[in-house]
A and B are shown apart, each in its own frame.
Chain A
């Protein structure tokens, strides 16, 4: 047990040294996005939500996460994508983001969870800055996994609400 653990942590260390990080990816409007798996707290299904008055459109409301009040962000709306209906298949990824003032726990509603990839961070390519659209600033970089492209999300910027 112990040796297995140390092996695992060794492996993790090694991976970190080589700049390898694991990313959880999810699907939104047929595109794949990734977040650092270490920020992910849990994955929940959509549940009834309490609406916050006068909140921006992408803030759907708050839920009770075992006694903590956690806001839920509709990432589609945040990224300027058309919204869809929420159903039992809608997934909420609960992530913990470190801000300067401390960490915050926020849920993001996405279409579906996809996969976990090991990605070398240096391989990420910058987003081409052609478009004036402000949605690109939320993407930290683009990486290729096989023949797919995954957009890595800059959580600090995205969730700075």
Chain B
């Protein structure tokens, strides 16, 4: 009869957090005065299911709190109250508070109700205020201010328990509404021999003296409407008169005698759930990593593929039992090819399970922007582009904090105040754009603002003061801008609450680099600045082209390869001291000699005997000179940093089929290493390693 509810906790929490996210997103869509009924309904529904769920699972603190919130929403929904900014703010605060409560419950920690109670007071205050304002429904006021007695008959059908409902919860919920007198009828309880423990033979009559209206009472039974006969009537008689004394007393005893047993059941619940919740505890600090929601179509396609795999395996099995002839060998080869195909498909699909739309990160930003804008007294419009761009879950979790930081930075430092903007002849509302898209094997996230741009002069002064550069360093504006990623750098004269402590940008850069990503900034004074984050889509597997460089095997990510070709020596010209450039159709491609960059001896040096692999990264093309092209294969990326440290020009290592280690070429690192900086953008500039190090 008693179900271990704890097994559903995780689902409840997940759904509740999702509901809160929905509420938050929809609340931000609400504009007082022109609210959309559907939006309010969505919010209301989310709040309602959180309330229902928390009530069912006995999280009364959450249920109670949600109740006041729901009341307000309901009034707005019914058109009894006009939505104001104050309401939206209050509701947003409530969402935060609920999130805190739920997180505490999930982590099995004590809930701190001070904030919730304070907010509840505010809600109640708002609700009361409404009653004075309201003229359209004066009778409502009367209902609310005076208490009434209701007679409630609750006769559950026998199968009530099987639907997972527990009358006791409803009774205690009723008791919270007001003063409750309960009469239990046990006339239909059969003889002990016929008694079935999972059926409900009792029915009840309640007299409830409450200031709530009928609807609130019906709501208690909302979940069992179809499984019980329920009547709610307003009694004319007052509460105390309504005591058929003798029966009631008698029955009351019975109720009491029954309750301890049931109560015991309830109290044992937490105890039972303990082992599992202890297990969850570790996870609770990062609840988002515990589970993943996957579309059923993805799972179905996986099942299909596994089916194919099984068939292929059966086929191969059958072949292995036959005598080996030339025909069986042919079919064996076919079978193996099919197996390879299946494995690859399977792998791709399994990886796709880990991919989630970046919306999961983006969705929390409207709120953040709203709060910060209010705090800074700036007007900001946030534009989100490419929210459906998919990204590996692990990458997503780790990118969220750096993005928050960059966004705050844009709002705080980038955008000007309203006055400044008007003075500069700009739209008083600043625009911050988040743009995500796929490019090659990477996801690119841009954070753009149309603010004042970076103050290059100030950065330079600061950098000189901090001895990051010397006064006579000859740097381009872009190079100066990149200095903000150096540790201990802040140009803000005053430390603000949001940013400006000088820790941050270097941490942002480090975090992104630890994901094999990169971050860049471009800025134009008065027009705005753009931070560009580039990240690999996934951290685990990569399609690679194996190449030979002076007896060493390297892997070039297939995704960045544009083409491979033999060099037409007549189209090569030398620029500067030691840079060869190949004219390929209408482009000039700088040739990077891998053996030279990696410092390997005994490579083929003459251009006409080697091959050129043209690769593209960061919108620039370069040619990598290799001795030979070997096979293509998928490689599992292994970290070099785990036991060594980062090697420039190498993004990781992998293990080849024969057990040897092979290194994966990091193209952008390679370009940096070669001293070739940003070719193709304006002109080729050659920068010596020494200047880079001087920075």
Contact = CB atoms under 8 A, between A and B. Distances in A.
Interface of A: 48, 50-55, 59, 61-64, 67-71, 104-106, 161
A53 B660 contact: no
B518 interface: no
Q: Main SS of the interface on chain B?
A: loop
Contacts of A161: 644-645
Contacts of B655: 64, 67, 69
A50 B552 contact: yes
Contact-residue size bin, chain B (C-beta under 8 Å from the other chain): 20 to 34
Contact of B643 (A51, A61, A104): A104
Contact of B640 (A48, A54, A63, A69): A69
Contacts of A61: 661
A67 B653 CA distance: 11
B643 A70 contact: yes
A48 B553 CA distance: 13
Interface in B596-615: 597-600
B219 to A, nearest CB: 54
Nearest to A55: B647
Interface of B: 552, 597-600, 638-640, 642-645, 647-650, 653, 655, 659-663, 673
9 contacts: A50-B661, A51-B600, A52-B647, A52-B650, A53-B598, A55-B647, A67-B655, A69-B655, A105-B643
B644 A62 contact: yes
Given A50-B660, A53-B597, A53-B600, A69 B647 contact: no
A70 to B, nearest CB: 5
Given A50-B660, A68-B638, 17 more contacts: A50-B653, A50-B661, A50-B662, A51-B600, A52-B647, A54-B599, A54-B648, A61-B661, A69-B638, A69-B639, A69-B640, A69-B643, A69-B644, A69-B661, A104-B642, A105-B643, A106-B643
Contact of A71 (B598, B600, B643, B673): B643
B649 A53 contact: yes
Contacts of B661: 50, 61-64, 69
A66 B648 CA distance: 25
Nearest to A107: B643
B514 to A, nearest CB: 12
Nearest to A49: B661
Nearest to B653: A69
A62 B659 contact: no
Contacts of B653: 50, 62, 69
Contacts of A105: 643
A51 B603 CA distance: 14
Contact of A53 (B599, B638, B639, B644): B599
A59 B645 CA distance: 12
Given A53-B650, A62-B653, A64-B655, A71 B552 contact: no
What are the 4 tightest A-B residue pairs by CB atom distance, in nearest-first order?
A53-B598, A50-B661, A71-B644, A104-B643
A59 B650 CA distance: 16
A104 B644 CA distance: 7
A96 to B, nearest CB: 9
B645 A68 contact: no
A54 B663 CA distance: 13
B597 A68 contact: no
A87 B649 CA distance: 30
B550 to A, nearest CB: 9
B649 to A, nearest CB: 6
A130 B270 CA distance: 69
Nearest to B661: A50
A8 B659 CA distance: 38
A161 B640 CA distance: 13
A106 B661 CA distance: 15
A158 B176 CA distance: 70
A44 to B, nearest CB: 13
Contacts of A53: 597-600, 647, 649-650, 663
Contacts of B597: 53
B447 to A, nearest CB: 30
Nearest to B656: A64
A53 B461 CA distance: 37
Contacts of A59: 644
B647 A54 contact: yes
Specify which of A59, A62, A67 lies most central, judged by the most chain B CB atoms within 10 Å of its CB. Answer: A62
Contacts of B662: 50
A2 to B, nearest CB: 29
B640 to A, nearest CB: 6
Contacts of A68: 638, 642-643
Nearest to A103: B643
Contacts of A50: 552, 653, 660-663
A54 B598 contact: yes
A157 B640 CA distance: 20
Contacts of A71: 643-644
B541 to A, nearest CB: 14
A62 B640 contact: yes
B636 to A, nearest CB: 9
A4 B645 CA distance: 42
A104 B423 CA distance: 58
A64 B598 contact: no
Nearest to A67: B655
Contacts of A48: 660
B373 to A, nearest CB: 39
Contact of A51 (B552, B644, B673): B552
